[in-house]
Structure 1
Amino acid sequence: MRSINFLLLSAIITIFAASLTFSQVRPPVPRASQKASVSQTVGTTEISVIYSRPAVRDRKVWGDWPQPAEGEATLDNQNTRPEGAPLVPFGHVWRAGANEATLFSAADDVLINGELLPAGKYSFHAIPGKDEWILIFNKDDGQWGSFSYDKAKDALRVKTKPQSVSESAELLTYGFEKVGDRSATLFLQWEKVKVPFTVEVKDVVGSTMQRLRSYVAAADASDPVPLINAANYAKANKQAEQAAVWFTAALKLVDQQIAAKPSFAALTRKGHILIGLDRTADAIAVFETAVERGKLDGVNAADVAALEKRIASLKTAKP
């Protein structure tokens, strides 16, 4: 009898464990709060937010919790929410969305309101307040809501000011505005509250140079154009040593093309490379050869004239 009872108990435990396992697989049906994402490239750095969009549905969104609740632990549980309580109570951790915790990612190191956040993926939470919000970037990027949120895993906390807006947003919305080549403003907006904060790429030139190295390495080794493109950016952004390396490599390839066929295009390209290497006198001589070649080969007259104008400009420019 004991062995039968043991087997029966084991079977019940197995079935219960299996039910827990299968309950983690969510059916492919529409959610009340639909999933969404928004992304923005700043410089060459991709920044994105993945979130779910709760709706107002004539409910009170923001406000104080009607009962005493010490600490900042989340109260974001619709099954235990008291009648009359707001969806998002002030002073407590909120998942900044619905369903899974909102996910923030940055391909490079960024500054959030001036504070460093290393490149990576983070769960994004917030502690709303009437006059001030705390924004939280947490290293646990796979949690459901904020229920397992652990402050010890925070990568960064920053403060920001909420804004009141006249037009109500029925669905929670994230977006980017004031986008520049180094920074952008990321905001969340729900009901009549908008919460903006700045995201600035810490080192635009450094991250771009890193990508240019990969771009050059992956390019056709016989094509000088990727080298020239990379060198032009490097020189324009005071990376003179690397610019010279790329220009020199491009010059070698162009010289090979000219040796095979001295075309107007190849000669013109060589002249531009020489300018990049600060060899203006040599560039002028090559441009003049290109003009002669262009006229002999019947190249478009406008292109030849443009190069002649460029030569004249170089000759009159102050050293």
Structure 2
Amino acid sequence: MKRFLWLAVPVFISSCDYSDIFSTKDKDEIDKLVNRSLNNMVVIKGGTFQMGDFGRLIGEKLPLTGENDNKPLHDVTLSDFSIGKYKVTYKDYDVYTEVTGKDKLELPKVLKSNPKLRAPDMPVSVTWDQANEFCLWLGKSAGKNISLPTEAQWEYSARSGGELVVYATGSGNFEYGKDIPSGEQRYQMTDESVYNIPVGKFPPNKSGLYDMAGNGVDWVKDWYSEKYYRQSQKNNPQGPENGTEKVVRGYQSGGGVMTNQSVFRQHEKSYPGEEGHGFPPNYNFRCVIN
């Protein structure tokens, strides 16, 4: 995966039940975060869809990508779930680090002169472990089964319930300036032309989800395997039992028309960089209620 400027981020561990250990002020902040997060969840009706490269079912009947890991097309059946309308933001994550006593995430020195990259409504950039721990903590705080989405849940949501949607944008197309931000628009919003922009600035997909394309990649729950689609279970697949890299889905800055399709799979180490140097500030996430 293409590398950009690096973002240093510490590793976090999960919190305890906040009802016994947090102050009244902290409990109020947690309640606000939980309520905001739950209110931003979009209910996705489960069903059966064909997951993977569906190019042979549309248009010229040709594969959408030249990759092997999103083939064969295979049936997947999912139960109902809810998924975050927006990516988790710095505003959300700062509450989490504050009330649990974790270190606040900071931009690397080379980017600290640009506070727009760490605005409250910017998608937070974290490791897979940090994303996973946040969702589990949120679930514990809310008393619900909350986690990162599985890869199947993510694709089903991006394709608006498994429809044959090539791009997870408001129109289903991939037009700079209309469906996803152009470099000029990115610069206008952040003084940078290659990084994320604040959440929710472009129309959502048909399911009502923002930034499923065009604004960084999302961590999902699954380990990555190039051959997984050949052996995926049909009902609520959870991905391989183990692996060395995690799946990320969505838009990677610098990617082209093919790499930003709803069926394109990407993968990365759970810490997507080199120890001591951090990683690109485009690794984001959203949570699901199972």
TM-score range for the pair, normalised by the shorter chain length: under 0.3
- TM-score, scaled to structure 2: 0.26
What TM-score do you get using the length of structure 1 for normalisation?
A: 0.24
Larger Rg: 1
Relative to total residues, which structure has the larger strand share, 1 or 2?
Answer: 1
Which one has the bigger helix percentage?
A: 1
- Larger RCO (CA within 8 A; separation ≥ 6): 2
